[in-house]
Amino acid sequence: MSTKDTMIEFRDVHKYYGDYHALRGITGTIRPGEFFSLLGPSGCGKTTLLRTIAGFEDISSGAVLVDGRDMAGVPANKRPTNMVFQSYAIFPHLSVAQNVGFGLRKDARSTAEKEKAVAEALEMVGLKGYGGRAAHALSGGQRQRVALARALILKPKVLLLDEPLSALDKKMREQMQMELIKLQRQVGITFILVTHDQEEALVMSDRIAVMFEGEIAQLADPETLYRRPGSRKVADFIGTMNFLPAKVLEEGADAVEVDAAGFGRIHIEARQVMGGKTDEGATVGFRPETLTILYEGSAAADRESMATIEEVVYFGDMTYYDVRIDGTDAPVRISMRNVFGRPVLDIGARARVGWSPGALVLFR
Amino acid sequence: MKSPGFRLYAIAYLLFLYAPIILLPLFAFNDSKVIAFPLSGFTTSWFATMWEDQNLWNAAQNSLIISTTTAIFATLLGLFAARASTRFNFPGSGGALGLIMLPLVLPEMIVAMAMLAVLLTIGFPLSIFTIILGHVLLCTPFAVAILSSAFQSLDRSLEEAAQDLGETPLSTFWLIILPLVMPGIISSLLICFTISLDEFIMAYFLGGNEPVLSTYIYGQFRFPARVPAIMALGTILVCLSITLLAIAEWFRRRGIAKSGGTDTGGFL
């Protein structure tokens, strides 16, 4: 593969800590200028993988290439990558400007030029005029910005972000998400983000690698991950997904006929069929928003089933209903946008539920 | 906690602990050769007597050399041990650290006797140098304890960040780690100095004919007429010790505050 469309390449990367197999054959590429996320539950190896790029972890076998160059034996201080640490790692004994300019120590430029670069970097992250402040007197959000400026001032080929938003409160986190996206577009540097927050990954990334137990379960763009999760495990991890048991009736080259509990006979096209079979056999999966409760005068749905409302959770703009479709054992969740003139239904009410075979996925 | 019995106990305890020390300045300024109440009057002549004693100056000079050298070497050794024990995991690291800390609980007299026996066996002459050897052995555990707490409060990712930004492990140590543990180093130097200054057993066993302050003071108690002057010296030493320990503690706390950690103990 040419280096033009590859910034990072993992070639069958394995990592052992003693007997523990932390990375189990990671293979994949990250494109230049991409906002890429490593997403997974804690202990899945996502931070370890990030640290192999930075040079803080040696790999047991395989290869990590940055911009076409094998990083084996290249120490962290010689790699074209910079990192924003989870704890931000702001040097507490230095000022903000000294922190941001830390990486320029060996730079041949004059002091005045370096000061200008520091000022520009601070302005870029919205901390203009903060240079003289003591680093230990900053708030969490400000530390985050200093860490960003300190890493970006070196114009790395890749910026590595290790759960950078996890220490911030919700409002601040959402604001920083937007700012990071804007910043990434502005500088055009490849960003690699490690996160356990699936929502954050969906919001920010061009592409996401979902990791479980040291392996990449699926590598795709956010929409594909959400709409066509490659396995039940991925589907479970990203957003909410309902599952109903299904029986395969007929198998064609480009479509499968199944009988799903409560739904009846469904025609499912090949692109909707996913792997990740479990012991429970085949299941159909669908997102809460792909089902609709039909009111008088609602537009007709492709298919309809009757159901009983078992639980109602009111969120203001949305209402979540747990409904039991006739003929099934367990309730499924439906999310409905609250529209003026449509009453929120009560527990125990009967409802018509509309759905479309095209919005389902089959795991088998 | 609020019962009067407890309060009485606490007051009695503190009185027992500190009253003898308060007597030092009391008699140092008392115009009488006899250490007894009632006090006879105020004088500073005992300080003058002390000041003119050539043997005392000799002992003080020895003590200063020993304490300074001990503080530097014990802190240096403590620095290596603390860094190794907090940063690296190697086979036997726990055991090695345990052996380093052992002199803290070993009876000092046993250690001093053993060292004396070894030195005499190999024919090594007793001098200031042998006292320093003993004191370094004694002070290193304290240095390790103080510096370990300084290293432990360091965020590991600070080191990684410096290397990520282009520094070598050596320049990282110089630019990041050393400045951040500096308060711990100063604190360790001061505490080791204080411990070495008033140490008696090692100085007595391993000193040969070289007097240090503690052995000199002990010797002077044989002459009742000299006792008030010793009280004056003691007063000065108490003030010096308290000042040094207070400075040490101030540095230790400042170090923890600077690196954003929380205080977990200390000596004061």
For residue B262, pLDDT beyond 60? no
For residue A307, pLDDT beyond 90? yes
Residue recorded with tokens 């200063």: B64
Interchain proximity A76–B158, CB inside 8 Å? no
Specify the fold of A241-363: OB fold (Dihydrolipoamide Acetyltransferase, E2P) (2.40.50)
A87 in reach of chain B (CB within 8 A): yes
Interchain proximity B258–A93, CB inside 8 Å? yes
Q: What is the mean pLDDT of chain B?
A: 85
Residue among B183, B181, B204 nearest B66 (CA): B204
Q: Residue B260: its pLDDT value, please?
A: 54
Residue among B240, B264, B239, B238 nearest B253 (CA): B264
Can you tell me the ipTM of this complex? 0.83
CATH of the domain at B91: 1.10.3720.10
Q: Please give, rounded to a whole number of angstroms, the shortest distance from the CA of A103 to a CA of chain B.
A: 5
In a domain, B30, yes or no: no
B162 in reach of chain A (CB within 8 A): yes
User: Nearest Cβ partner of B157 from A82, A87, A93?
Assistant: A87
CA distances for B132 relative to A140, A172, A363, B66, B202, angstroms = 48, 57, 76, 6, 9
B167 in reach of chain A (CB within 8 A): yes
In a domain, B12, yes or no: no
In a domain, B219, yes or no: yes
Domain count across chain B? 1
pTM of this structure: 0.81
pLDDT digits (tens, 9 = 90+) for A48-64: 999 999 999 999 999 99
pLDDT digits (tens, 9 = 90+) for B174-183: 999 999 888 8
User: Nearest Cβ partner of B164 from A82, A86, A136?
Assistant: A82
pLDDT digits (tens, 9 = 90+) for A151-176: 999 999 999 999 998 888 888 889 99
A150 in reach of chain B (CB within 8 A): yes
Q: Residue B261: its pLDDT value, please?
A: 54
In a domain, B234, yes or no: yes
Q: What is the mean pLDDT of chain A?
A: 90
Q: Residue B30: its pLDDT value, please?
A: 78
Domain that holds residue B62: 57-258
Q: Residue A189: its pLDDT value, please?
A: 94
For residue B266, pLDDT beyond 80? no
Domain boundaries, chain A: 3-232, 241-363
In chain A, what is the straight-line distance between the N-terminal and C-terminal CA atoms, in Å?
Answer: 33
In a domain, B176, yes or no: yes
For residue A362, pLDDT beyond 70? yes
For residue B86, pLDDT beyond 90? no
A251: β partners: A256
Per residue in A155-186, is it b (16+ CB within 10 Å) or e — as a string?
ebbbbbbbbbbeebeeeebeebbebbbebbee
User: Nearest Cβ partner of B167 from A54, A77, A89?
Assistant: A77
Which class is A3-232 in CATH?
alpha beta
Q: What are A102's two structure tokens?
A: 């830390």
In a domain, B79, yes or no: yes
Widest CA span in chain B: 72
Phi-psi map region of A72: left, alpha, beta (phi>0 left; psi -120 to 50 alpha): beta
In a domain, B171, yes or no: yes
B176 in reach of chain A (CB within 8 A): yes
B260 in reach of chain A (CB within 8 A): yes
Q: Give the contacts of B24 (CB within 8 A, at least 6 positions apart).
A: B231, B234, B235, B238
For residue B31, pLDDT beyond 90? no
Q: Residue A298: its pLDDT value, please?
A: 79
